[in-house]
Amino acid sequence: MQRRHLMILAAAAAAAPGVQAQVTDLNDAINKAGRQRMLSQRMGKAWLALVHQTSSANAQLVLDRSMALFDRQHVELKAFAPTPEIRDTYVKLEEAWSNYKATLVGTAPNKAGAASVLEADAKVLALAHQGTVQYETFLNRPVGQLVNVAGRQRMLSQRMAKFYFAAMLPVDAQVASDEIGKSRSEFLNAMDLLRNAPQATDRIRSELKLADGQWFFFDQALKNMQSNNTASKELSNVFVTSENLLSVMDRVTGLYAALTT
């Protein structure tokens, strides 16, 4: 089972499905802008996993590839910006990302630096979300909202895992627990919206069923935080299951982004 987990994780650590060399249209822009939100949280998760020395080789791979993907997509989104307001958001995000990147690579992952990482990733997340909403507003079509919502599910999967690792250090354990609870509710509500959307195809609903199965395993892993079980196996389970859920929701987001109505 452990070998199977590692194989799944290695696949998930690769560049996300559907990533293209440049932004092709506004649906793709919303998808990639939303993926930047996810990457902000995924990098924090991977960094904190390294503090715990959990899935260290895979966590380092996830961190390195996420940083490279964030860099590449930022250039694409800034260049594609259709309005001065959207471009300004990505100019501001560039500075926030530079500070976050320096925090991630400035020193070896350690408990003392965890609070700084959490503070820096929050700033990147806020601006990445702002850019996603601006792209959605500019498109001004129902499918844009669905791409945004589906993409946000990716972020929530990583955010919950990140705060799990923070709580287990512990760093702001009560805040982390509250954020996990809030994100869990938002995730489940959004799944209902995506499942019941008139635009949902049979393929999308099939992928959402798969996501429900991955959510079950991820949620079970998260609930071990209540027992203060910090065994390496439990921490690894959170890491692996969050990656698996991310992989499915990335496919769902890509399917919504491919819609033309």
Mean pLDDT by 10 residues, the chain (261 residues): 43 46 91 98 97 88 97 97 97 98 94 96 98 97 97 98 93 88 97 96 97 96 68 87 97 94 63
What integer pLDDT is reported at residue 232 of this predicted model? 78
pTM for the structure as a whole? 0.90
- Is 201 part of any domain? yes
- Is 126 part of any domain? yes
8 A C-beta contact, residue 222 and residue 238: yes
8 A C-beta contact, residue 83 and residue 100: no
- Is 135 part of any domain? yes
- Is 198 part of any domain? yes
Residue 193: closest CA among 183, 208, 182? 208
The position carrying tokens 């690792």 is: 165
- Is 214 part of any domain? yes
Distances (CA, A) of 20 to 15, 17, 121, 254: 10, 9, 24, 11
What integer pLDDT is reported at residue 20 of this predicted model? 53
What integer pLDDT is reported at residue 226 of this predicted model? 56
H or E stretch including 228?
none
Tally of domains within the chain: 1
Q: Any alpha helices (H) in the chain, and if so which ranges?
A: 2-13, 26-52, 56-80, 84-106, 114-139, 142-167, 173-196, 202-223, 232-257
What integer pLDDT is reported at residue 59 of this predicted model? 95
What integer pLDDT is reported at residue 15 of this predicted model? 41
What integer pLDDT is reported at residue 239 of this predicted model? 95
8 A C-beta contact, residue 31 and residue 257: yes
Domain hosting 91: range is: 22-257
What integer pLDDT is reported at residue 65 of this predicted model? 97
- Is 5 part of any domain? no
Residue 67: closest CA among 46, 87, 90? 46
DSSP symbols for 2-17: HHHHHHHHHHHHSSPT
Q: Is 91 helix (H, G, I), strand (E, B) or coil?
A: helix
Q: What's the distance, Cα to Cα, between the start and end of the chain in Å?
A: 42
Could you write out the three-class secondary structure of 128-177? HHHHHHHHHHHHCCHHHHHHHHHHHHHHHHHHHHHHHHHHCCCCCHHHHH
Token pair belonging to 152: 């946000």
Q: Is 109 helix (H, G, I), strand (E, B) or coil?
A: coil
- Is 15 part of any domain? no
- Is 252 part of any domain? yes
